[in-house]
Structure 1
């Protein structure tokens, strides 16, 4: 696993907001800082569990999402929010954790 970002939910506005209508959320750019901090505001009708909308999560890149999910309590099933990316969320010690598998380019 490799650290990717920390997502921090908020109900407040923040600088340089990026609206993601297809995900029903607004985010900041996690690459704009050296620590991968990403602010996230979920829209009223966002279809995510309350734990994800209210508690910060840590996201990790994984080589094999299916293997990473084995034996874990999955709270958001694998899905593809953007081309070449599949994500899923698990619950660990009462907190959400995101796994991200990026499609590897073919040689």
Structure 2
């Protein structure tokens, strides 16, 4: 089988490939570090869709399966907002891209 097929069937099964837990965990590690280093402040983390998607799966407590990567998708220019109280996640909220944005993520006049 081609490597991408194996990757899509079971993330983390290939050498050098990351599981959903590892991929999302990297994002959440940064989020928690920012919260510790900047308590009471608003921080912004920017990432590609797959790491954000994996983090969302972990935050929701969903199964770590490839099907979950497409069930609730982080769209282009969408935001996954995470509110913390110390190291405890208080809330998560997905905010889609503003209406009227193009496929490139830019707002249209």
Provide the TM-score with structure 1 as the length reference: 0.29
Higher relative CO (CA 8 A, sep ≥ 6), structure 1 or 2?
1
Q: Higher helix proportion, which one?
A: 2
Q: Higher strand proportion, which one?
A: 1
Provide the TM-score with structure 2 as the length reference: 0.28
Q: Which structure: larger Rg?
A: 2
